Amino acid sequence: MSTIGIIGAGQAGSTLARAVITSGYDVVIANSRGPETLASLVAALGPRARAATPAEAASAADLVVLAFPYRPTDRLPTTQLAGKVVLDNNNYMPWRDGIYPEVVAGRKTVHELRQEQLPEAKVVKAFTHVQFHARSEIRVPDDELPAVVRLARPAGAPDRKALVVSSDFPEAVEAVTRLYDDLGFDAVDNSPLSESWRSGPGTPMWPHHVDGQSREELVRNLQRAERLPR
């Protein structure tokens, strides 16, 4: 896999595009307003990036990132996403994304709803708890970098951090584990999607989205999570 489709070109999508291009991938990136509105971003990303419609970005890759806020009413390129590994990086915010009673009551996770919305895709929750922007308090020059870049370390480094991955499909977990490794992170498998509430906002692992956590810390924090209605 050498091309990644990214649907959503805001803070998360554009930063992830930059990070994966640095790791040697090509990127096809889309937003809601059309490829012509992405000309300056694509110019800044360089020759490994091109702008497209969401359907074209979904067609172009076996791994496609949905880097925009979740709404079950969104029109997604379901045909083009069929059979693909689809990364969902949404952190459910009712004030922004709308109220979904089964999620608010803790009966389902937003990622299970996304899987229902894309029944032929292999949805995987990934990259939800690493910041795609600068540290809010700049103490040293590196703090200007988004956490997904600032915290990256080579495999085996003693201070390597870990990110969570959750899916109902082991092959999707494997694909994201490889991608995390390429970007400089270990993976902790917190599958299936019904368990993915353990890495949501407000859980014990959550405050570490600024400075990261080791694999051991992350496993411990996922185990400590308690399910609360939200």
Ligand X SMILES: NC(=O)c1ccc[n+]([C@@H]2O[C@H](COP(=O)([O-])OP(=O)(O)OC[C@H]3O[C@@H](n4cnc5c(N)ncnc54)[C@H](OP(=O)(O)O)[C@@H]3O)[C@@H](O)[C@H]2O)c1
Using CB under 6 A, list all residues that contact ligand X. Answer: 7-13, 30-33, 54, 67-70, 74, 89-91, 128, 131-133
| Per-residue tokens: 181 | 């490794």
| Cβ proximity to ligand X, 136 vs 158, nearer residue | 136
| Cβ proximity to ligand X, 54 vs 212, nearer residue | 54
- Closest distance to ligand X from the beta carbon of 158 (Å): 26
User: One-letter amino acid identity for 126?
Assistant: A
| Per-residue tokens: 61 | 């890759």
- Closest distance to ligand X from the beta carbon of 36 (Å): 11
| Cβ proximity to ligand X, 25 vs 70, nearer residue | 70
- Closest distance to ligand X from the beta carbon of 128 (Å): 5
| Cβ proximity to ligand X, 52 vs 173, nearer residue | 52
Q: Distance (Å, rounded) from C-alpha 160 to C-alpha 167?
A: 23
| Per-residue tokens: 99 | 């109220």
| Cβ proximity to ligand X, 54 vs 192, nearer residue | 54
Cβ atoms within 10 Å, residue 6: 28
Q: Distance (Å, rounded) from C-alpha 102 to C-alpha 33?
A: 31
- Closest distance to ligand X from the beta carbon of 88 (Å): 8
- Closest distance to ligand X from the beta carbon of 214 (Å): 20
- Furthest C-alpha separation in the chain: 47
Closest residue to ligand X, Cβ-based?
10
- Closest distance to ligand X from the beta carbon of 82 (Å): 17
Of the candidates 170, 193, 174, which has an alpha carbon nearest to the alpha carbon of residue 182? Answer: 174
| Cβ proximity to ligand X, 134 vs 219, nearer residue | 134
Backbone φ/ψ region at 156: left (φ over 0), alpha (ψ -120 to 50), beta: left
Q: Distance (Å, rounded) from C-alpha 221 to C-alpha 61?
A: 33
Residue entry with tokens 């997604």: 76
